Each structure stands twice: as structure tokens, then as C-alpha cells.
Structure 1
Amino acid sequence: MVERIVTAGRAVLLERGTDGLTTNHVAAAAGISPGSLYQYFPDKEAVLDEVVRRYADDLEERVTRAFVDTAAERDATVAVRRVVLALVDALAEHPALLRAVAQRLPRAGDDRRAAFARRVDALLTSTLLARHGGELRHPAGTVAWMLVRTVESLAVGYVLEEPPIAQEVFAEEVTALVLGYLGRALAGEEAG
């Protein structure tokens, strides 16, 4: 029954948005009475929280997989571009869910979004150390933090704001930005 309610909650959220989600709408979509819904979820916030939690879990898995899949790629341009495209694809699949995550899980130092970002930071830090160990002018963790937050912010903004920029162009521009910063962070490159 919980699966049915969560699936219905997700459908209602996608159709009506966060503000349009009510327990009556969710119950109707699940084909149950509101009273039955309340046996499993105390209110609409609990349904919404579970929908958002599951979406965030799926998103984290997809982004992590994309990052890990490109970690062995020797061509930095190809690797960065693949990660950016995978991130945008994952985020753009359900913008209403992304908006709900952004609203319900604001980034704070101890929340799940921050914890996920720290895991991606650690993956990128390891990659940077393996590829550029002693070449970095700044600690690898600093470089990773800057890159992860920049790419995430740009990708979320791109999906939610829908600027008139083709996805391929967006990926090229973000890749150039990342590689420019990374080039600057390497010891042999002088700041311009």
C-alpha cells in the first residue's frame, strides 16, 4: 500500500506541483480513501517527503554512477562533458521533482544534499589526487568543492530556469569553465 501511495504522490506532484498536492488528490490517484492514506502517512507533507526522498536517492545513484563511469576516462574534456550531460539528463527528467527537492531539501551543512555533495567531493578529490597529485596549487579538496558546487548550481539552474541554450551548448560551456578552472588550479598554470 505504501508503494501505491508513494507512486500516486509522485504522479500528483508531477501533474500539479508541490502546492497542488493534497492528500485527497493522492488518495484518489492511488484508488483509496483518504482515511486509508492516513493509516500510512499522517499528512501530505509526509507523502511529499517520501516522494522527494526516493527521487533524491535515485538522483544520487545516477549522478554517482555517471561520475564513477567517467573516472577512468583519460581525456578530461570527454570526462567532464559526459558528467555534465548525465547530470542534466538526470535533473531534467522530472523538473517538478527537482524543484521539490530544491525547496524541501535546501543545502545546509548537515542535510542529505550536503552529505551527497561531500561524497561527490571525495570522489573528485581522489580523482584529482590520482591524476594531478603534486601539480595542484590548492588542496585537491578545495578544487573539488569549487567544481562540484559550480557544476551542480549551473545544472540545477539550467533545468529549472530553462534558458534558451541548447543542452549541447550548455555542456560545452560548463566543460570549458571546469577545464579553465582546473587548468588554473594546476601548479604549472599562472592565473590570468
Structure 2
Amino acid sequence: MERIVAAGRGVLVEHGYDAFSTNRVATAAGISPGSLYQYFPDKAAILDVVIDRYWEEVAERVAAALSERIADFGPGMVRDTADALLSALEADRELLRVVAEELPIHRSRERRAALERRVRELAATYLAARRESTRRPDPATAAWVVVLAVENLAMRWVLDQPAAVTRDALLDEMVALVGGYLLA
């Protein structure tokens, strides 16, 4: 099964969503289509596992970075967490491109929402424990705004690779954005 999932990920990256098929996945995995169907009923089932695992990998890296710095407050924590998100997204830029730009929205919406929810809950807990360090009245709302802003900036930077914006400059701007928002 793992060989099929790895092959599915490779086919998705190499050929894109429109050309993704069970026959291509079986060929890439070095098995017959019949063998593939013993594990997966159709291409949608393979896609679901590939996408679930991708977002889980991203979530694990970001949650780990946030958890490691949960006792800290301030720019260093924001920078480290944003950096972990960038690294997680950069780890497989081509798969991110397919997931973000080629898949029908319903294919990844729930999975991406689960990632956002997981990080948002950690951030809300973090902000609730440090109410004196922010002027935002509702930690859950503030966490929602911060997580979506940082996530969208990170995704666009990884996908677009703007020449005028270095990674360090982006991280500096994210820290300024979050700090300015939380203290406003």
C-alpha cells in the first residue's frame, strides 16, 4: 500500500491532477492495475490518502514548532512558527502547487481546514494564556485572523517565488504584521 501511495504522490506531481489515473499509479508503483484495486477502489481513494498525508505532514511541522515555543511570547515565536510553515510548504513545492492550483476545491478543503483548525486551536490557547500581552479581545478570533493571514502569505510566497521578496524579508514582514495586529 505504501508503494502505491508514494507512486500516487509522484504521479500527481509529475503529471498533474488532470492526468492522474490508476493505470499511471500502478505503472509507477510497478504493479498491475488489478493489484492496485485490492487496496484502493479508485483514483479518488488514492488522491485522498496522498492529500491527507501531505496536509498532515505540514500540520505536524507547524504544530511542533508552535508547541516548542509555547512558553515564549513575542517575535521569536512568531518567526519560528512562520519559518516552520514555510519549510513545510517548501518541502514539496510541486505537490503544493497541484493541491492549491489544480485540485478541485472540494478535494483539499476539509484537509486544509483541519490543518488550520489544529494550528488555530494551539494559537488560541497560546493567546488566551497571555491575555495581558495582546489587546485583541477574543483569542479565538485573533488566532483565526493570524493563522489565515500567515498561511496565505506563506503559500503565495512558496508558489509565486517573488524575486523582490526574500525569505528573511517575508519572515520580518509576517512578524511585523502579527505583532502589529496583536498589539493594536
TM-score by length of 2: 0.87
Q: Are 2:21 and 1:18 equivalent residues in the alignment? A: no
Which residue in the other structure is 1:68 paired with? 67
Which residue in the other structure is 1:85 paired with? 83
Q: Which amino acid letter does the alignment assign opposite residue 34 of structure 1?
A: P
Which residue in the other structure is 1:105 paired with? 108
Could you tell me how far 1:132 is from its partner in structure 2?
Answer: 2.4
Could you tell me how far 1:151 is from its partner in structure 2?
Answer: 0.7
Deviations 1:60-116 (CA, angstroms, capped at 9, x unpaired): 111111111122224x1111111111100101111232234433212xxxx343233
Structure 1 stretch displaced more, 127-136 or 25-34: 127-136
Q: Which amino acid letter does the alignment assign opposite residue 115 of structure 1?
A: A
Q: Which amino acid letter does the alignment assign opposite residue 9 of structure 1?
A: G
Specify which structure has the bigger relative contact order, considering alpha-carbon pairs within 8 angstroms and separated by 6 or more residues.
2
2:133 & 2:151 partners in 1: Cα distance? 26
2:9 & 2:111 partners in 1: Cα distance? 20
The answer for unaligned runs of 5 or more in structure 2 is none
Alpha carbons 2:17, 2:98 under 8 Å: kept? yes
Which residue in the other structure is 1:138 paired with? 137
Could you tell me how far 1:133 is from its partner in structure 2?
Answer: 4.3
Which residue in the other structure is 2:39 paired with? 40
Which residue in the other structure is 1:31 paired with? 30
- SS state at 1:71 partner: coil
Which residue in the other structure is 1:187 paired with? none
2:28 & 2:134 partners in 1: Cα distance? 56
1:23 & 1:119 partners in 2: Cα distance? 32
Which residue in the other structure is 2:153 paired with? 154
Q: Are 2:114 and 1:115 equivalent residues in the alignment? A: yes
Q: 1:29 to 1:135 in 2, by over 3 A?
A: closer
TM-score by length of 1: 0.84
Q: 1:135 to 1:98 in 2, by over 3 A?
A: closer
Could you tell me how far 1:147 is from its partner in structure 2?
Answer: 0.6
Within 5 Å, give how 1:120-131 maps onto structure 2: 120-131=119-130
1:134 & 1:3 partners in 2: Cα distance? 46
Could you tell me how far 1:6 is from its partner in structure 2?
Answer: 0.6
- SS state at 1:42 partner: coil
1:51 & 1:135 partners in 2: Cα distance? 38
Which residue in the other structure is 1:183 paired with? 183
- Which has the higher Rg, Structure 1 or Structure 2? 1
Q: 1:17 to 1:135 in 2, by over 3 A?
A: closer
Which residue in the other structure is 1:189 paired with? none
Alpha carbons 1:17, 1:96 under 8 Å: kept? no
Percent sequence identity is 48
Alpha carbons 2:75, 2:179 under 8 Å: kept? yes
Q: Which amino acid letter does the alignment assign opposite residue 99 of structure 1?
A: R
2:171 & 2:8 partners in 1: Cα distance? 32
Alpha carbons 2:136, 2:182 under 8 Å: kept? no
Deviations 1:170-191 (CA, angstroms, capped at 9, x unpaired): 111111111111110xxxxxxx
